[in-house]
């Protein structure tokens, strides 16, 4: 499967320029052009590009599908663009299948929140620091290592525009094929700067992310909604 070929195929079917797809996804024109030109087979931007084309990642990767079939998924507005109803913004879920081309495992995730729909006013008043609205996504909380910050199944708002842990904070990331949400702390040492992954739940030990580990920062967690049962 050539991911680049599929991106070019659906972009052409929708009549989108590279600049228009960039506006929908936040992925730069140069990056998209390189993916298409090299017929790349995987990319960390795959899920974002699929959403910008009105597709799921599975649909984008399905070479047997007809790009001109007129399926509803191809005429949807970008999920990051405001809808015509009350100028709302739909914030899509993070697609774990496209995170690294093969998929990321999120252990103990009790179901998935598909999207959040918020008003522009809510976004302006409640989320003051983010890179761009089209880089926001929702991640469903998994595991109990971050209790009491959030519980499994709770929604988390993540900024995919933050791809480095340049400051201390709570981040969504992977090591190998396994996904994590942890507080990352930068610690100077005799061997240089290391990153320590810390849980909120005291039952879990902190651990260090060393230089040789396969680390990818997906984004910074901006906001969580903690649920309580009554």
> For 88-224, which CATH class?
mainly beta
**Short-list 53, 51, 47, 48, CA closest to 74:** 53
Q: Please count the other Cβ atoms lying within 10 Å of the Cβ belonging to residue 106.
A: 20
For the chain, give the mean pLDDT. Answer: 81
State the DSSP H helix or E strand holding residue 12, giving kind and residue range, or none if neither.
helix 3-14
**pLDDT at site 101:** 39
User: The tokens of 114 are what?
Assistant: 């598909």
Give the residue-averaged pLDDT of 4-11. Answer: 88
Q: Is 110 helix (H, G, I), strand (E, B) or coil?
A: coil
Read off the pLDDT of residues 194-224 as tens digits, 9 standing for 90 and up. 899 999 999 999 999 988 899 999 999 999 9
**Short-list 47, 38, 53, CA closest to 4:** 38
**pLDDT at site 162:** 93
**pLDDT at site 167:** 92
DSSP 19-51: HHHHHHH---HHHHHHHHHHT-S--TTHHHHHH
**pLDDT at site 174:** 92
Read off the pLDDT of residues 60-116 as tens digits, 9 standing for 90 and up. 888 776 554 433 333 333 444 444 444 678 888 887 654 433 457 787 777 788 888
**pLDDT at site 84:** 42
CA distance 161 to 55: 21
**222 phi and psi, to 5 degrees?**
-95, -35
User: The tokens of 119 are what?
Assistant: 């008003």
CATH of span 3-74? 1.10.260.40
User: The tokens of 123 are what?
Assistant: 């976004």
Give me the residue spans of the domains in the chain.
3-74, 88-224
CA distance 104 to 113: 17
This prediction has a pTM of 0.61
Read off the pLDDT of residues 149-170 as tens digits, 9 standing for 90 and up. 999 889 999 999 999 999 999 9
CA distance 7 to 205: 42
**Short-list 89, 88, 92, 195, CA closest to 138:** 92
């Amino acid at each position: 499967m050539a991911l680049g070929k599929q991106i070019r195929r659906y972009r052409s079917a929708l009549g989108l320029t590279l600049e228009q797809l960039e506006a929908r996804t936040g992925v730069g024109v140069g990056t998209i052009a390189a993916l298409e030109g090299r017929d790349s087979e995987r990319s960390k931007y795959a899920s974002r590009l699929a959403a910008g084309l009105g597709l799921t990642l599975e649909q984008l990767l399905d070479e047997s599908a007809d790009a001109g079939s007129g399926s509803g998924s191809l005429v949807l507005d970008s999920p990051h663009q405001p809808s015509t109803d009350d100028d709302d913004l739909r914030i899509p879920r993070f697609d774990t299948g496209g995170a690294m081309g093969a998929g990321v495992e999120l252990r103990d995730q009790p179901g998935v929140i598909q999207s959040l729909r918020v008003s522009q006013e809510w976004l302006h008043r409640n989320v003051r620091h983010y890179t761009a609205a089209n880089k926001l996504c929702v991640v469903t909380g998994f595991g109990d290592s971050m209790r009491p910050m959030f519980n499994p199944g709770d929604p988390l708002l993540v900024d995919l525009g933050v791809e480095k842990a340049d400051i201390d904070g709570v981040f969504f990331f992977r090591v190998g094929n396994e996904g994590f949400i942890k507080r990352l702390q930068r610690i100077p040492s005799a061997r240089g700067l290391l990153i320590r992954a810390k849980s909120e739940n005291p039952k879990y030990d902190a651990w260090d992310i060393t230089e040789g580990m396969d680390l990818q920062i997906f984004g910074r967690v901006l906001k969580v909604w903690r649920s309580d049962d009554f």
